[in-house]
Amino acid sequence: MRPSLLRHKHVRIGTRALLGAALLSVTAGCGLLGGDEPAPGPGIPVRVAALALADVAPLHIAIDHGLFAQRGVAVTLVPASSGQNALFKLESGDADIAYAGDIAFVNAVKGGVPLKVVAEATVAGERTMRVLARPDGSVPDLAGKKLGRNAEGGVSDTLTKSLMTDHGADPTSVTWANLEFGAMAGAVLRGDIEAALFPEPFATAAEKQGLHPIADPATGSAKNFPIGLYGATADFAAANPAAIASFQRAMRDAAAAAGNRELVEATAVKHLKGIDADTAALMELPVYRSDPVMTELQRVPDLMQRYGLIDKPLQMSELIIPPPPPGT
């Protein structure tokens, strides 16, 4: 049974708590987020590529609870194995909008892909990402070791490199294994890799399996760092302004709804493979936001240039598609 949660086509939201309460008021007899993935409703069709992370909980909330339909878009999810893979799906025409780490997004732009920032997704909060290993240790101990990353040039390896640099360890001394986040804990436990940077909910699940945190990047150079966003090609954005604006409005609604932790936990249990209610209750949540904050987004290319990951400046303000005014 598909929940019918917000009756009016246009809902003005005053606070996160108000929308969170409204979303929890599901039709009698329906589970909070139970049942199959709902089929896209009426509206402008938009395909969104995303990987399975706590970062995309608002995206699932918007689909499950009809927020996209209320704003006039019909979203279909396109699974992706990494942010880089999601961006590739944009280039290949298999997706219209993609969730990716800010670092992967900047790397793609610097590589010549004409992309635009549609909306933000998450900002790193304390312990929302952890570098985990088998024994207790320290960041300098990572020098010369084999480490795990989700993909080259993304959040997982870039923030690990910045941590190592901050702690006086040589990031060029390590070798890397590309793994999906769900496979990283097993690789560390087997000794295939020494450590890896885990996002939520994989960090909490890995700690339950016996791994130990040795560093939290959100307490160093990446404190309050933007870690995820939704992007589109410049061509798609120019040709589909109504779809972009409707997506932005719905994601603003969903980011507000994600202020309700119970709703996010239920979303994680439903949509993230292998995540049970206990793990969802323990995981540290990122800060969800949708409207871009230019000064914060600029930190991403600035940090990347500082560590030699890009050689020329990039102005994020030139890439942002301004969202519609709040309340519209």
Give the amino acid at 28: A
Q: For 131-183, what is each residue's pLDDT tens digit?
A: 999 987 899 999 999 999 988 888 888 889 888 988 899 999 999 999 999 89
User: Are residue 44 and residue 180 in the same domain, yes or no?
Assistant: no
75-85: pLDDT as tens digits = 999 999 999 99
* 200 and 242 in a common domain: no
Its sign, for the CA torsion 143, 149, 151, 157, is negative
Same domain, 139 and 202: yes
- Note the pLDDT of residue 162: 84
> For 252-309, how does the pLDDT look when each residue is reduced to its tens digit (9 = 90+)?
999 999 999 999 999 999 998 878 999 999 999 999 999 999 999 999 999 888 878 8
Q: Please tell me the predicted confidence (pLDDT) of residue 190.
A: 95
Q: Which residues form the domain of 139? A: 129-219
Cα distance between residue 253 and residue 199, in whole Å: 24
- pTM of the shown model: 0.81
Of 219, 252, 286, the one marking the end of a domain is 219
- If you average pLDDT over residues 92-105, what whole number do you get? 96
pLDDT at 220: 67
The token pair at 155 is 């959040």
- The per-residue pLDDT of the chain, averaged, comes to 86
CB-based contacts of 269: which residues, under 8 Å, 6+ apart? 33, 275, 276, 277, 280
Among the three residues 155, 190, 219, which one is the final residue of a domain in this structure? 219
What's the CATH number where 87 sits? 3.40.190.10
* Tens digits of residue pLDDT in 8-23: 223 333 333 333 433 4
Which of 184, 199, 219 is at the close of a domain? Answer: 219
Total structural domains within the chain: 2
